[in-house]
Amino acid sequence: MRQIFLLLDVGLKYLRRLALFVSAAGLIVMAALDTFDVLSSFLFDAPIRGISETIQVIMAASVALAIVSVQHRREHVCVDLLVNKLSPRALRVANFFNYVFSILCVGLISWQSWIMAAHSVRVEEVSATVGWFLVYPWKIFFALGFTIVLIEILRQAISSMLHGLDRNFERSSSNLKENMHIEVNP
């Protein structure tokens, strides 16, 4: 059993890295495309057709694929006024609710995203402005992103159950300032 979990852990680690890599690449591609469009418009008076639609679908997929990394590092913004003062037992209950609500949210979004992606595949959805640009693969990436997040939360929940009190959760929740060196929030 332990071996299976370790194997899943390793698999998920590579999946997370791949998702983050694709997501980061998506971000720089978005910036490059938008800049290229601006230059093309100003220099040659020839805006590139369908650029904003392309950026839109890349953004949706990129962001969804990046969430798993945020989840793994527990970098979500938390307002943890009470957590600092909870006893280990109460913290375990809070931890349980944390996972329940996280699984509920991401599970629902993931489920509905697959329905949306399946529909998109069925109709072979393409861009409305540029006929050759396929939209459905990006919707699959979008659904996949949320599904990987769901798997990561389940992994964290199982790990928390197996190891008793989740020290990571305790650390991330009780020490907000540790999270603050990451560049979040306006």
Binding-site ranges for other proteins (CB under 8 A): 20, 23-24, 27-28, 30-35, 37-38, 42, 52-53, 55-57, 59-60, 62-64, 66-67, 69-70, 73, 75-83, 86, 94-95, 97-98, 101-102, 104-106, 108-109, 111-113, 115-116, 139, 142, 146, 169, 173, 176-178, 180-186
8 vs 50, which CB is nearer to other proteins?
50
Task: Give least dist CB 15 to other proteins, A.
Answer: 16
Alpha-carbon distances, residue 108 vs 44, 122, 133 (angstroms): 46, 21, 28
Distance CA(158)–CA(103), nearest Å, equals 12
78 vs 134, which CB is nearer to other proteins?
78
Task: Give least dist CB 148 to other proteins, A.
Answer: 12
5 vs 13, which CB is nearer to other proteins?
13
12 vs 53, which CB is nearer to other proteins?
53
Task: Give least dist CB 143 to other proteins, A.
Answer: 9
6 vs 164, which CB is nearer to other proteins?
164
What are the phi and psi torsion angles at 134 (to 5°)?
Answer: -80, 130
Residues whose CB is less than 8 angstroms from the CB of residue 62 and which lie 6 or more positions away in sequence, other chains included: 22, 23, 24, 26, 27, 30
Identity at 81, one-letter amino acid code? L
| Structure token digits, residue 152 | 């990561």
Task: Give least dist CB 68 to other proteins, A.
Answer: 9
Distance CA(161)–CA(165), nearest Å, equals 7
Task: Give least dist CB 167 to other proteins, A.
Answer: 14
User: Alpha carbon 23 to chain centroid distance?
Assistant: 9
CA-CA-CA-CA dihedral for 175, 181, 183, 186, to nearest 10: 60
